[in-house]
Amino acid sequence: MMKQFIAALLIVASSGASAWSQAGKPSSAAELATYVAADREKVLYEGAKKEGKLVWYTTLATDQNKTISSIFEKKHPGVAVDTYRTGSSALAQRLRTEAKARAIPPTPLRRLPAA
């Protein structure tokens, strides 16, 4: 009887965990920014495909950002990269202005490691 109870408990617990993990998908930009599950890249890609493009703010030289954008677009079909390139001071000012106006959602900013 105890073994049947434990087996039933495990079945209920595992089915609840599955439903919970489905409910645990990020539903806002703020949640997505901190989402760290194993399927994070898949979730990001699916969302980007729905949007059709992503905007990349960068200070990299034009030839570098074109190369990176091209590689990204080949790896992620259906997602175009719209690049906004400027100097670091102007970029910082633009990000501050847009954040104050709430014109952009909170987005994780990443810096490439030094070569």
Specify which residues 82 forms β-bridges with. 55
Residue 84 has a CB neighbour count (10 Å cut-off) of: 11
> Is residue 59 domain-resident?
yes
> Is residue 112 domain-resident?
no
> Is residue 87 domain-resident?
yes
pLDDT over threshold 60, residue 42: yes
What is d(CA 59, CA 90) in angstroms, rounded to the nearest whole number? 10
> Is residue 1 domain-resident?
no
pLDDT over threshold 70, residue 23: no
59 lies in which domain range?
Answer: 52-106
pTM score: 0.61
Render pLDDT for 61-109 as a digit per residue (tens, 0 to 9).
999 989 999 999 999 999 999 998 999 999 899 888 888 887 765 555 5
Q: How many domains does the chain have?
A: 1
pLDDT over threshold 90, residue 16: no
- The amino acid present at 3, given as its one-letter code, is K
